Structure 1
Amino acid sequence: MNDSVSKSYNHFDYEYLGAGLGLRTPHIYKILAEKPKIDWLEIHICNYINGGLNQQLLMKVAENYPLSFHGVSLNLGGTEPLNLPYLKRLKQLTEEINPRLVSEHACFTAHNGEVFHDLLPIPYTEESLNHFASRISQVQEFIGRPILIENLSRYIEYPESVFTESEFLSQLCRRTGCGLLLDLTNAYVNQRNLGINLDDFVDQLPAEHIHEIHLAGYSQDSEWLVDTHSAPIPDEIWLVFQKYCARYGPRSVLIERDNNLPEFEELDRERIIAEGILNQYKVQQLENSSELEPV
């Protein structure tokens, strides 16, 4: 794929969505029945892509809420051919539902036919960059739109790496026109576990390519923070989010919880907190822009 095709995605019309929730199966029927006020919902598209009851429910949800498709199965960092049947179904659902965002992870999930059911980090080398960029471009060309790539929580660093994570992700944006999904909890986990300065990591990313933010809780053992999405969002993550909004302005933000799933109302309270932070900095952004207008 030539550069002009890849870079055309830099002009994709991303919509500011506000504060959303990760939709989990136990909450679907409540949301369909009560239709609570939520700006948008993100789904794990792998759970819906094969049809059946799940996909019927998804279609009903899509009638009432903007959706984002979040994937964990493309294996973009893997060496096996991309899963063509999966891509065909993803393209079909993308055309039928028109999700506002489509995202994947900067990782590999399978090797030599074995699926690991985990998001495994890749080395940040020139070879990895070329390979990953090629795979992103193939996916984007196939489905006809750009995808967002999410930064990973990592527990090791490869000695072969020649780029930092932020340099690697920035190069992917430049080469493919993809966007970024900035998971601030993952970045915080990496700071605590690996000593990677969170502020430096974020500042070195191309802010104009960041179109979604994830916030989640984590667990802690005697030595490590673990990105389990199993707990309420802690104060330190809320502070990181506020700091980001103050510096770069509000972005579409999502509350994630995958394990120890609480009642819907508890998750929605976190979404409302995020919404309040977004609104605070939206007002501040408007005030700052009005001060710059000529009299």
Structure 2
Amino acid sequence: MSDVLSIVLKRLGLGLITLLVISILIFFAVELLPGDIAQAVLGQGATEENLKALREQLGLNQPAIFRYLEWLGGAVQGDFGVSLISGRSVAETIGPRFAATLFLASYAAVIAVPIAILLGIIVALLRDSIFDRVANVLTLTSISSPEFFLGYVLILYLAVKNPWFPALANVNFQDIGTVELYYRTFLPALTMVLVVVAHMMRMTRASIINLLASPYIEMARLKGTPAWKVIVKHALPNAWAPIINVVALNLAYLITGVVLVEVVFVYPGIGQLLVDSVTKRDFPVVQACCLIFAATFILLNLAADVGAILTNPRLRHPK
């Protein structure tokens, strides 16, 4: 247990260092953007007095390193500053949007994970068959297609030519029932499912096929063990570590890679908020969204590492 705890703490420390480096890149990347932030916010008709007052309010007259340290200290406490456009707290602005993104990602994950693992096991059992080849072609096509392209294809065939689902998912969570919510958000969830299932299915298939070549699997076959039993009792338990890893990484993608999907379907999540804030040059919101995406991705990577360690004795005892 102490070995597992030390490995987890080491991974957590590396994750915090990575997040610190990413926070530096986010802050100074925004600093390097061309143009005057105060001028962009107030417009071309702003007077010099107004520009000066806004620069003082934003702390633009201070060195960048001091502004970064102040921003980082506030971010650690959950205070990302104030939106330049709405004047509201950035945390209050992002909170409902991030919850909406988590809902959409969870919706897609509940559909994608069991389907991907089940299909991965089936195509591993039917390796080199017609079903396996067709599945490979379909998954490669899905992986190669950008999310926004898949989204527009689904809108064309499932909302325009066949009006089964609404083309837009601009929902209000307070004024909509549960069934209606799932119905209206089905197309963006399906778009994400198509990409994620392809990744997870191929990784599950590769993991199981790799294990099927192991000596203990050959011994089980020589003893006359049925093929399904070889997969379920011998191959699958040892394949959980890479499967958990790829599931966690794809869950991270569902949350951090949702920007294009939310824009296509006008879904009120944090990805849509990020795009709107970039357009309006609302830099405190942009910085907070990027930092939240980075923290979520690092956290889910850490969860993948911990899951792989707990399911693989060789990782728990590397010596």
For normalisation by structure 1, the TM-score amounts to 0.25
Q: Which has the higher helix share?
A: 2
Q: Which has the higher strand share?
A: 1
Larger radius of gyration, structure 1 or 2? Answer: 2
For normalisation by structure 2, the TM-score amounts to 0.24
Bigger relative contact order, structure 1 or 2, given CA contacts below 8 A and separation 6+?
2
